[in-house]
Amino acid sequence: MTNRNIKVSPIAGALGAEIHGVDLAKPLGNETFAEIRKAFDENLVIFFRDQKITPEQHLAFAGRFGAFDIHPFAAGLPDHPEVLPVIKEADDSGSNFGGLWHSDVTFYERPPLGSVLYAHDVPAYGGDTMFANQYLAYESLSDGMKRMLDGMTAVHSATRVYGNTDTAVTKFGAGVKSMTVRTGDDADETMEHPVVRLIPETGRKALFINRSYTLRFSGWTEAESDPLIDYLCKHAIRPEFTCRFRWQKGSIAFWDNRCAQHNALNDYHGQRREMHRVTIVGERPMAIGDSDRAAAA
């Protein structure tokens, strides 16, 4: 399909592209939407500049891609619980929300398709977000490693991030000064997903583990799992698999959470940063060889 309504400009060799010629404050025609969806599938993360949208318009755009998720541990806006404010105040000197490599809430039965993040207030410098292509992470593994991982599943949980421990939220959130983030025993619940998942729109295989939520491989102990998980997580963010996005006020990033990890860099102490995030419900991850579900998707 040739783009007639938008211009797509890649920002790196691995993933990421800026989309030009779209005002997301206005309703999208079906042809423009189809071109944006194609760019999303091909580039894994797409960016829009110089946007000015209300929460209602934010939700209208994201809603074209699916139903909204409400984060179970971090509070949304009072009038729009589907819109999560991601804030770090200038006098916060600790960690930031999302400040390590991860895919969002993979402890769900149906982890998100992706998230649409809108910049309200950005620092003069710092606060970039990095993204990593998990198709490339899988495709660059040895044939032997691929054969082993293709049939494996892993256990995911929110316990390390939102469990009732002294360090959980401080490792992942900016604390009560900036955001309302809770811990709870419900964070200890677990969910199993394939280590390598098939993305139905592209038919490609993506590595699907991350440091935040992947506890261990199914049938393995954590001690047995840790060395391989550590290797795969380091491999997944090799520089040649990544892109880096410099935020400006009014910028929007929309990433495919199924096949891209991201990391919000925490290098802007003394400056304020406020983003609004809308997350879109995805499908239950498909295992390799799950051709019936792939065909039905």
Residues with catalytic annotation? 102, 104, 262, 277
Task: List CB contacts of 256: < 8 A, sequence separation 6 or more.
Answer: 40, 41, 44, 45, 113, 114, 199
Residue pair 5/37 in contact by the 8 Å Cβ criterion: no
Q: Tokens standing for 117? A: 């993040």
Q: Note the helical H segments in 44-164.
A: 55-63, 134-139, 143-150, 159-162
Residue of 108, 81, 114, 113 whose CA lies nearest to 162:
108
Residue pair 85/76 in contact by the 8 Å Cβ criterion: yes
Q: What is the distance of C-alpha 222 from the center of its chain?
A: 24
The C-alpha atoms of residue 124 and residue 138 are separated, in whole angstroms, by 36
Task: Report helix, strand or coil for 46.
Answer: strand
The C-alpha atoms of residue 74 and residue 72 are separated, in whole angstroms, by 6
Residue of 154, 271, 149 whose CA lies nearest to 209:
154
Cα separations (Å) of 25 from 32, 59, 172? 14, 10, 31
Residue of 287, 290, 151, 141 whose CA lies nearest to 219:
151
